[in-house]
Amino acid sequence: MSSTNVPAALKGNIRHSVCAWCYNDMPLEDLCRSAKAIGLQSIDLLNPEDFATARKYDLTCAMVAAINQNWGITRGWNRVEHHDQLVAYYQYLVDETAKAGYANLICFSGNRGGLDDEQGLQNCTQGLQRIMGYAEKKRVNIVMELLNSKIDHPDYQCDHTNWGVNLCKAIGSERFKLLYDIYHMQIMEGDVIRTIQENHPYIAHYHTGGVPGRNEIDDTQELYYPAIMKAIHATGYTGFVAQEFVPTCTDRIAALKQAVHICDV
């Protein structure tokens, strides 16, 4: 085996992943090969048809995607009229996720579209409770992503940790949790480490990104990721942290490797 195929030695306190969409113009096979060489264990946000490619490189998918031509970030669970079709779609995704042996399946609130936050929370609760029994039976976590509505996703409803935590409490299932995206929540709230410390029981997964710009997480941006990773590890978290930044440099895999080592505390 050549040295380029030997996974890099990492400390093991953080389990590392990368979001596939950030490298959309790279063949998934190439991304998997490079991720494995860096020492990653997972590729985030894969569709079921891509599972086999990740498996070929002994990589898991720590967060399964759930976006198609009808459903995604702007159209989600906060509209009662979406529920019947979303339940059918998520039954299929839960089946595929469970069949692959994966743990986490992403979901989205959808945009407010005039809904106040209380009504949106009630609607999400009503819809998601219809799928949670099935997810529990299949041992799959349904995980709603926290996104910023200030810059990237105007009008998105699940844009504050407190709203997401209240949704978790309303649904009342250990299989429903949050994806805490550090980039997005720095934009909306700041106070990242304290928020993680106070709300970690409701968090199933983490994403990174440099602020501002969602680029490299090096010293060109305002967050200090080593401290954030130490705080995550101190909560007892054993899941994955996925790099979700868009590299600006020519050697994007080198940027990914640098980010992994920044987070490898």
Beta strands in the chain, from DSSP E residues, in sequence order: 15-19, 42-44, 104-107, 141-145, 176-181, 203-207, 240-243
pLDDT at 8: 59
* Enclosing domain of residue 60: 3-263
pLDDT in tens, 41-52: 999 999 999 999
Domain containing residue 115: CATH number: 3.20.20.150
pLDDT at 7: 55
The number of folded domains in the chain is: 1
Catalytic residues: 145, 244
The tokens for 171 are 């649904």
pLDDT at 9: 81
Is residue 3 pLDDT above 50, yes or no? Answer: no
C-beta separation of 12 from 39 below 8 A? no
* CA torsion through residues 55, 140, 105, 96, sign: positive
* CA torsion through residues 181, 183, 188, 193, sign: positive
What's the average model confidence in pLDDT over 129-149? 98
Q: How confident is the model at residue 5 (pLDDT cuts 50, 70, 90)?
A: very low
Is residue 69 pLDDT above 90, yes or no? Answer: no
Q: pTM of the entire structure? A: 0.95
DSSP secondary structure code for residue 26 in this structure:
S
DSSP secondary structure code for residue 201 in this structure:
G
Q: What integer best gives the mean pLDDT of the chain?
A: 96
C-beta separation of 242 from 18 below 8 A? yes
Is residue 2 pLDDT above 50, yes or no? Answer: no
Is residue 203 pLDDT above 80, yes or no? Answer: yes
What's the average model confidence in pLDDT over 98-127? 98
Q: Percent of the chain at pLDDT above 70? A: 97
What's the average model confidence in pLDDT over 163-184? 98
Kindly give, in sequence order, each residue whose CB lies less than 8 Å from that of residue 145, ignoring residues fewer than 6 positions away: 106, 107, 108, 158, 178, 179, 181, 184, 207
* CA torsion through residues 180, 106, 103, 46, sign: negative
pLDDT at 121: 98
Whose tokens are 């950030």? That residue is 22
Angle at 7 between CA 49 and CA 13, to 5 degrees: 90
End-to-end CA, the chain: 28
pLDDT at 175: 98
Alpha-carbon torsion, ordered 202, 70, 131, 242, to 10 deg: -30
Is residue 195 pLDDT above 50, yes or no? Answer: yes
pLDDT in tens, 217-261: 999 999 999 999 999 999 999 999 999 999 999 899 999 999 999
Is residue 80 pLDDT above 60, yes or no? Answer: yes
Q: How confident is the model at residue 4 (pLDDT cuts 50, 70, 90)?
A: very low
The tokens for 129 are 């409770």
